[in-house]
């Protein structure tokens, strides 16, 4: 049974504080040092400020960004942390905002006439190319199934087909998900090939001019409303010298019903085609349809910010333990009736508040750890993990000396849980550290409870994993201590369906934050242990993210 009202760590702390107080009392000296326990009041204050209407939904490149960045710097300073980028708390991240004009046009012609999915309703299209206009003319549609090239699974959906200049029609998730066949990919658990961003990158590598992602709420892990909230309006990208010329000209999501109509227009049965795509030996299918599309874009270049601070360590201060959380959210939608601000309280004001409260606990920790502790609030998480991609390409602390990254993404708001879920389970031995700390809290470690959603690949964790920096992304699981796992699952489903990326994701003083505080105490302790160890956490030998990590001497 779980001890409530204080886990093991809290218990140890109480004993230690008591002893210190006694010593102080005997010697007639100072009061005990402030607790390193996660501070609930501070946590609530940070969430309520960051998720307030005043912060306008924290969209990069807006006044909401300026307020967020100022707030973070003020908090870092208040805690006595040092700037993480020379004299500055900011790592500038050059971005471009691409807004497609209302005159976007699209039509798809076939032997039986023209099909025209309505942009914004049946199809949501954009471009990541930073140019005033993109245009596709008579681009042939090819159904490439899951659009995957994965040598380790002996799978190539682009074998024997040349898609240069063509528009590929792609399913999301992967063949293991579709067939629930444990021998295909990782069975029902999504692999890194399942995520939409992989699909568009692979299509671009293959030279495709356009990509239509077929939406399916189950396979994607979010509904059509999330597609509409995320991919309409101005789109953000990292600003690159070539203006992302390597990307396909047109990227789009197509609603499931509209996709079925498209297959019907091609004389294909959607259900049968999708089933064939999940079988070994699938071959891409030219659909006999041609697409014309034009987008006129207005472009705005601006510089966003990763906000970074460091608490210098002792004997091995060049080595770091890094806490990360994306600070941004979706901003404000003026075209919306009613409440227009995407406050992003859970996503991810909770994670940023967590990062600040963990920082406070470290600032109160005596003596400081041997390794330095870095706090990195990332920009552009919602727009495709842009801040973390930029950071790993331009690290301010050498990645090889970064012993561990602990990712705080959308904390679990609710009561205590019996389990701690690890997203991307089975990859690094940071799990061993997390397991022993969880046990002290009376909790067990569990794998990602909903691996088909691929949340690991949708978090900043994946940017660090791809750079082979051991990363932990864990939080309270579904097994609610009071109400059990069925209730826990229902809560999560309710969040994903009704609050995720919607304006109702707001803070309330009725939030039960006990579960989040347990998770933050666990994160603090895991980081503290790694920061006091000489050892570098490792990827497990069978992890796809493992490459030889060579560490310079301290």
Burial string for 76-86 (b: 16+ CB within 10 Å, else e) reads beebebebbbe
Report the nearest approach of Zn ion to the CB of residue 501 (Å): 8
- Please name the residues in contact with 232: beta carbons below 8 A apart, sequence gap of 6 or more: 120, 124, 126
Interface stretch with Zn ion, choices 82-90, 344-352, 432-440, 447-455 (CB under 5 A): 344-352
Report the site for Zn ion in 75-94 (rule: CB under 5 A): none
Nearest to Zn ion of 229, 348 (CB atom): 348
Interface stretch with Zn ion, choices 27-35, 60-68, 108-116, 343-351 (CB under 5 A): 343-351
Question: What is the distance between the terminal CA atoms of the chain, rounded to a whole angstrom?
Answer: 43
Report the nearest approach of Zn ion to the CB of residue 65 (Å): 15
The span from the CA of 200 to the CA of 171, in Å, is: 11
Nearest to Zn ion of 239, 348 (CB atom): 348
The span from the CA of 518 to the CA of 537, in Å, is: 23
Report the nearest approach of Zn ion to the CB of residue 164 (Å): 35
Interface stretch with Zn ion, choices 100-108, 339-347, 367-375, 420-428 (CB under 5 A): 339-347
Nearest to Zn ion of 348, 361 (CB atom): 348
Nearest to Zn ion of 380, 515 (CB atom): 380
For 260, phi then psi, to 5°, come to -60, -40
3-class state of residue 371 by DSSP: strand
Helix H or strand E segment including 47:
helix 40-50
3-class state of residue 463 by DSSP: helix
- Please name the residues in contact with 41: beta carbons below 8 A apart, sequence gap of 6 or more: none
**ω into 367 cis (within 30 of 0):** yes
Single out the residue of 157, 237, 347, 480 in contact with Zn ion (rule: CB under 5 A).
347
Tell me whether strands 285-311 and 331-332 are parallel, antiparallel or unpaired.
unpaired
Nearest to Zn ion of 56, 347 (CB atom): 347
The structure tokens listed for 37 are: 């326990």
Q: Where are the alpha helices (DSSP H) in 280-385?
A: 351-363
The span from the CA of 95 to the CA of 11, in Å, is: 47
Report the nearest approach of Zn ion to the CB of residue 363 (Å): 26
For 216, phi then psi, to 5°, come to -150, 120
Residue nearest Zn ion (C-beta atom)? 347
CA dihedral 459, 462, 465, 466 (to 10 degrees): -160
Burial string for 424-441 (b: 16+ CB within 10 Å, else e) reads bbebbbbbebbbebbebb
Count of residues near Zn ion by CB under 5 A = 2
3-class state of residue 31 by DSSP: coil
Nearest to Zn ion of 403, 492 (CB atom): 492
DSSP letter at 453?
A: G
Report the nearest approach of Zn ion to the CB of residue 226 (Å): 11
Report the nearest approach of Zn ion to the CB of residue 495 (Å): 12
138 near 292, Cβ under 8 Å?
A: yes
Nearest to Zn ion of 146, 507 (CB atom): 507
Interface stretch with Zn ion, choices 191-199, 348-356, 476-484, 539-547 (CB under 5 A): 348-356
545 near 427, Cβ under 8 Å?
A: yes
Nearest to Zn ion of 326, 418 (CB atom): 326
The span from the CA of 211 to the CA of 169, in Å, is: 6
Interface stretch with Zn ion, choices 157-165, 222-230, 248-256, 340-348 (CB under 5 A): 340-348
Nearest to Zn ion of 347, 448 (CB atom): 347
Report the nearest approach of Zn ion to the CB of residue 350 (Å): 10
Nearest to Zn ion of 347, 419 (CB atom): 347
Nearest to Zn ion of 191, 348 (CB atom): 348
To the nearest 10 degrees (0 to 180), the angle between helices 8-27 and 430-440 is: 70
Report the nearest approach of Zn ion to the CB of residue 482 (Å): 27
Interface stretch with Zn ion, choices 13-21, 104-112, 342-350, 526-534 (CB under 5 A): 342-350
Interface stretch with Zn ion, choices 25-33, 71-79, 101-109, 347-355 (CB under 5 A): 347-355
Interface stretch with Zn ion, choices 13-21, 245-253, 284-292, 341-349 (CB under 5 A): 341-349
Nearest to Zn ion of 119, 348 (CB atom): 348
Report the nearest approach of Zn ion to the CB of residue 406 (Å): 16
CA Rg, the chain, in Å?
24
Q: Is 319 in the site for Zn ion (CB under 5 A)?
A: no
Report the nearest approach of Zn ion to the CB of residue 188 (Å): 23
Report the nearest approach of Zn ion to the CB of residue 170 (Å): 23
Nearest to Zn ion of 211, 385 (CB atom): 385
What DSSP string runs through 387-420?
A: HHHHHHHS-SS-GGGEEEEEE--SPPPSS-BSEE
For 301, phi then psi, to 5°, come to -90, 135
Report the site for Zn ion in 373-402 (rule: CB under 5 A): none
The span from the CA of 267 to the CA of 113, in Å, is: 12
Report the nearest approach of Zn ion to the CB of residue 409 (Å): 6
447 near 435, Cβ under 8 Å?
A: no
Report the nearest approach of Zn ion to the CB of residue 348 (Å): 5
Nearest to Zn ion of 407, 419 (CB atom): 407
287 near 266, Cβ under 8 Å?
A: yes
Report the nearest approach of Zn ion to the CB of residue 461 (Å): 12
**Which residues here bind Zn ion, judged by CB under 5 A?**
347-348
């Amino acid at each position: 049974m779980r001890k409530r009202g204080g886990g093991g760590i809290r218990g140890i702390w109480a004993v230690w504080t008591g002893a210190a107080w006694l010593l102080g009392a005997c010697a007639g000296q100072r009061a005990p040092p402030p607790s390193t326990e996660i501070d609930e009041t501070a946590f609530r204050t940070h969430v309520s400020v960051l998720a307030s209407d005043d912060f306008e939904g924290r969209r990069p490149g807006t006044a909401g960004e300026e307020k967020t960045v100022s707030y973070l710097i003020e908090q870092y300073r208040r805690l006595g942390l040092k700037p993480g980028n020379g004299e500055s708390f900011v790592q500038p991240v050059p971005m471009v905002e691409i807004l497609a004009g209302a005159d976007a046009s699209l039509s798809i012609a076939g032997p039986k006439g023209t099909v025209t999915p309505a942009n914004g309703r049946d199809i949501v299209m954009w471009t990541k190319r930073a140019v005033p206009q993109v245009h596709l003319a008579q681009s042939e549609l090819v159904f490439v199934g899951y659009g995957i090239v994965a040598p380790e699974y002996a799978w190539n959906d682009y074998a024997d087909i040349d898609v240069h200049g063509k528009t590929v029609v792609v399913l999301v998730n992967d063949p293991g998900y579709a067939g629930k066949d444990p021998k295909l990919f990782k069975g029902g658990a999504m692999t890194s090939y399942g995520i939409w961003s992989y699909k568009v990158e692979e299509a671009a590598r293959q030279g495709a001019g356009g990509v239509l992602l077929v939406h399916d709420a189950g396979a994607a892990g979010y509904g059509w409303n999330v597609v509409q909230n995320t991919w309409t309006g101005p789109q953000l990208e990292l600003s690159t010298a070539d203006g992302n010329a390597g990307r396909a000209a047109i990227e789009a999501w197509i609603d499931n019903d509209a996709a079925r109509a498209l297959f019907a227009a091609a004389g294909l049965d959607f259900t049968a085609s999708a089933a064939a795509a999940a079988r070994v030996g699938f071959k891409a299918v030219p659909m006999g349809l041609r697409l014309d599309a034009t987008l006129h874009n207005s472009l705005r270049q601006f510089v966003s910010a990763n906000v970074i601070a460091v608490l210098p360590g002792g004997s091995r201060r060049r080595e770091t333990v890094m806490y990360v959380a994306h600070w941004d959210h979706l901003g404000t939608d003026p075209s919306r009736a009613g409440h227009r601000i995407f406050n992003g309280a859970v996503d991810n004001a909770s994670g940023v508040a967590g990062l600040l409260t963990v920082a406070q606990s470290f600032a109160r920790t005596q003596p400081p750890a041997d390794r330095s502790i870095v706090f990195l609030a990332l920009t552009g998480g919602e727009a495709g993990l842009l801040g973390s991609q930029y950071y790993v390409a331009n690290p301010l602390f050498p990645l090889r000396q970064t012993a561990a990254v602990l990712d705080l993404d959308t904390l679990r708001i609710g009561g205590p849980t019996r389990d701690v879920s690890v997203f991307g389970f089975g990859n690094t031995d940071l799990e061993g550290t997390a397991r022993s700390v969880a046990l002290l809290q009376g909790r067990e470690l569990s794998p990602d409870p909903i691996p088909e959603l691929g949340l690991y690949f949708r978090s900043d964790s994946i940017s660090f994993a791809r750079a082979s920096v051991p990363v932990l992304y864990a939080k309270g699981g579904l097994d609610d201590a009071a109400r059990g796992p069925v209730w826990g699952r229902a809560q999560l489903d309710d969040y994903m369906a009704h609050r995720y990326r919607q304006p109702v994701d707001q803070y309330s003083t009725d939030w039960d934050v006990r579960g989040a505080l347990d998770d933050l105490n666990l994160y603090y302790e895991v980081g503290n242990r790694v920061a006091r160890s000489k050892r570098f956490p490792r990827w497990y030998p069978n992890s796809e993210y493992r490459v030889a990590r060579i560490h310079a001497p301290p």
